Amino acid sequence: MEELKYPIGREQINSSPSAKEIVQWIDDIRSLPEKLSAAVAHFSDKQLDTPYRKDGWTVRQVVHHIADSHINGYTRIKLTLTESKPTIKPYQQESWAALLDSSLPIESSLKLIDGLHKRWSYLLTSLNKKQLNRELNHPESGTIVVKHLIGHYAWHGNHHLAHITSLKKRKNWT
């Protein structure tokens, strides 16, 4: 079950990432929309409504969740770059995934993810060392710096992409 829940492993962000690691994380964010679109290309509604694991979200919900989560991530980084150690608001991702808009066709979220990631990766490539070390306060996790958020969202995108691609492989969907 652990492998189905965490197909690329649990998140392990290096607390002192190198410049090369940060560049890789930004590239992961930049390239996610294309990889995600390719992974779900030609999926039927039945395939989109298949959970990636028992008691897991459907592929459709995963795609919409990536859009929801990454909008929050982009906003969190922009707040951190423009305010002094902002306290961000967590959100109930399970409740968001259960809302009616998570049953829509995935095209709107794929387009949203594409546009968002273009802007996000462009912004991230412009950050200097001081900006990468700016802090936010997360009510549940404490102090987080921008470079760790970059690593988190790179992992997050790859994590959910792997949910889809591993399901596709297990089901032999080509």
Q: What is the DSSP string of 62-105?
A: HHHHHHHHHHHHHHHHHHHHHSSSPBPPP--HHHHHHSGGGGS-
On whether the pTM is more than 0.95, the answer is: yes
pLDDT tens for each residue of the chain, 174 residues long: 789 999 999 999 888 999 999 999 999 999 999 999 999 999 999 999 999 999 999 999 999 999 999 999 999 999 999 999 999 999 999 999 999 999 999 999 999 999 999 999 999 999 999 999 999 999 999 999 999 999 999 999 999 999 999 999 999 998
CATH number at residue 84: 1.20.120.450
Number of domains present in the structure of the chain: 1
**Number of residues assigned to the chain:** 174
Residue 115, domain extent: 2-171
